[in-house]
Amino acid sequence: MPFRKAWLYVLALLAFTFVAFWPGYFSKLPVKKLAHHYHAASAVLWMILAIVQSWTAHHNRLALHRMTGLAIFLLFPFFLVAGMWVIHVEATTVAGDLTSVEGKQLAQFGFFDPLANIAFALLFWAGLKYRHKVQLHARYMLATLLFVISPIGFRLLAMLIPFLRPDENFSYAMAGGNLIALAIALYLYRQAPKHGRPFLIAAGFIAAQEITFETLARMGRRRPTRRAQSRSAGLTLRRLVRLSIIS
């Protein structure tokens, strides 16, 4: 059985989640939108399920492993729907004001979040497809967690490095988070290339996220006209919804 200590690493990732999101989310729960609460809950529950699944598989609790595994059929659609809801909320914010700091930052996620949704769905489907092949099944399921590393990583980097805190340096922090996620994905692939396809797929999506994020960031530096802004916001909403529905 691969990754005997995976549950410990995911437990650490869960702890880092609360640290990274404390300033911007957990300390401000009453003022956050419902979509963000559902999105956060789905991500935390997915990590908890991964911890339980890894622990039971490596402690000969296979019956419990199979029973708790049924929860994925509830958590998977919950995670996707919550993610699509957040995308819609972000697109609505962008449509309201594309020229504000918040609007420009959210516009940079135009492909980032939908790509994460698509990758998550693809890896989940492959994990079920290869559920009888332990090496691949474990890797596909663990690879779904790689897409929470970048959001955690760039927030921690901004907390630790003063240069990354200003809004104008947001892209540098984001690049750092993506680089951390990409490095981990490639490291896991190199551990066993024969079975490493899941991590290579995840690495490809993470690279695509960074490339599109920086492309949109450069586009966002140009101040749009009012007519172009309205048209761009409408396209953003349709693009986000369509890309997410694919997953």
Q: How confident is the model at residue 93 (pLDDT cuts 50, 70, 90)?
A: low
Say what the pLDDT of residue 114 is: 86
**Residue 71, class by beta-carbon neighbours within 10 Å (0-12 exposed, 13-18 middle, 19+ buried)?**
middle
Q: How confident is the model at residue 166 (pLDDT cuts 50, 70, 90)?
A: confident
Q: How confident is the model at residue 229 (pLDDT cuts 50, 70, 90)?
A: very low
Say what the pLDDT of residue 152 is: 96
| Pick from 241, 178, 166: nearest CA to 208 | 178
Say what the pLDDT of residue 94 is: 63
Residue 112 lies in a domain: yes
Residue 1 lies in a domain: no
Sole residue written with tokens 């399920």: 49
Whether pLDDT at 202 is above 90: yes
Number of domains present in the structure of the chain: 1
Say what the pLDDT of residue 102 is: 59
Average pLDDT value for residue range 77-90: 86
Say what the pLDDT of residue 39 is: 93
Whether pLDDT at 66 is above 50: yes
Residue 36 lies in a domain: yes
Say what the pLDDT of residue 230 is: 46
Say what the pLDDT of residue 235 is: 44
Residue 149 lies in a domain: yes
Say what the pLDDT of residue 242 is: 54
Minimum mean pLDDT among 92-96, 101-105, 120-124: which range? 101-105
Residue 146 lies in a domain: yes
pLDDT (tens digit per residue) in 115-165: 999 999 999 999 999 988 999 999 999 999 999 999 999 999 999 999 988
The domain containing residue 222 runs over which residues? 6-246
Can you give the pTM of this predicted structure?
0.83
Say what the pLDDT of residue 7 is: 93
pLDDT higher at 43 or 92? 43
pLDDT higher at 169 or 42? 42
The long-range contacts involving 82-85, CB below 8 angstroms and separated by at least 24 positions, are 82/35, 82/38, 82/39, 82/41, 82/42, 83/39, 83/42, 83/113, 83/116, 83/117, 83/120, 83/244, 84/117, 84/241, 84/244, 84/245, 85/35, 85/38, 85/39
pLDDT higher at 95 or 132? 132
Average pLDDT value for residue range 43-56: 94
